[in-house]
Structure 1
């Protein structure tokens, strides 16, 4: 499989949604099923650390490994993200054990009922996270000791509450503090989940395999090494990611604001550059679909909302969540993005790497495992 081949979400068999339920089954959570088959390797452990490295897709492992050799020293397999392959969708898919259609976090940004746009990364308490994301999280359901370790500023944010409510919170503002807090949580049986954001940032801003990205990859290696070396007996470490990334050349950038044919009939824009949501004026959906298919050709799937839902990319979507998806969904393939000048910050068009679509490099994430057996 090449990096640009299409990968569909493996809901129910091998996606991020199955990770924590499988972890719970290993630890004896009643009713949990080990869909991922973790039990054979994790037999005998009573405490598990799960580290999510933002942006460390499976296709980035070979690029990062020269700077983080630990990545190739751990047992590995792959999972898929959900769709869109973007941070808020994936974090909530992992945290709830549910597909995006069910939990309702359906894009980096989506439309609110009042017509405004909700940025899930900059979300506070409006709308109410427990109402906007109604599925009980895995942490609420698990019935065992669980801890979340992430940046202190993320305490109480909309995304944190939506994805992780039920876990005890520990703030950690640098990689060393993250490893220390995760290891401290392993002093007792249970699950600790940690989140590290920096690799994704440097991919977006400087590009995959840039000097800045390589330095960030080295820090990831140091973080994982500290966790491996500090695990107590009877503990396991699982390392995964929310998505991969893809550098997009300047000639692959289409701005809907620069082409009258692409701006016609549009009442609102959300999503992101690789998975664009278009909200159309009354009666304009068919014309918008035709215009985007004409301009983008084979470089994108241009689907109506109904077609996108029927494709299974989100899993089942209840009626109350349908309006969050665009009337038209543009899923970019190859090295293409659809920018939205005037609808989103200009900085979006200045990024180097993007994600959100269905290519293997965006959708495929690693699951690396290390076990320190019981004494």
Structure 2
């Protein structure tokens, strides 16, 4: 479920909003000035399922590097700008498909106007970003603290500022590390604007805490039909953000494709190293492009029954295991060959 009444915004060769599929974003953590490393990471992220990539542009050298980076990639490139309006202008001149700014830290109205005029000349979307960590002092005082209402008011004020300059090719982002605040803010703003929304839980944390917070927050927001692009913010390798984002969308039924791995919890009946096996299966299927469910079960007692809803599965026993298709045991193999047999079945899946 997505908000179909939102404006459609074109970002490079992709469209967001208006009921279009929710797109996954990530951000490079290389030095943008290092073109080779940045391009390599973008290619890796694209192959993992990244739809739109964002690069930090803290220096003029980074802004100039975008020109060379753009020549080597196919997915849309967003330039992340803070403080210096000249970097935003240079990034657009060098081919950025979209820019991310917080008008509050760009400076005077005149400087913001120069950025808007440059974007308007090139029809480049502007993502207006507001973060709970940088909410304006007057709004903190108005609401008594940092609140969802304050975030929404801040974002809409900045949108109006740009609209008054004659530009409405905009995407809105309101982020907080407070999950409940983030959910409430998105519920509020979705009722007050038809601009596409980029959704994420900012500063979510490490792989463990960040995945939990992002899954809870994004799940709650997206399940209400709110959100047009997403980013899972993790203190970790960017490719992990893509994996989690894909799984969140798939779990909510908002995206298909890719193998879903389900596995049972361990119990006293387990006679194999189920944890290691499940992790190996999950890693193994990353490069197999099938839209199916694979089950990894720890025992032969309940394995076939529990795997019934999966397309294919394996269940371990004492020194041996079962290959299961749609709940039916089709083969018994030595434990050490379980993984290889499963992979062989998946590789030849469409031929079966």
Both structures adopt the same fold (TM-score exceeding 0.5): no
Answer with 1 or 2: which has the greater Rg.
Answer: 2
Q: Which has the higher contact order (CA 8 A, sep 6+)?
A: 1
Higher helix share: 2
Q: TM-score, normalised by structure 1?
A: 0.30
Q: TM-score, normalised by structure 2?
A: 0.31
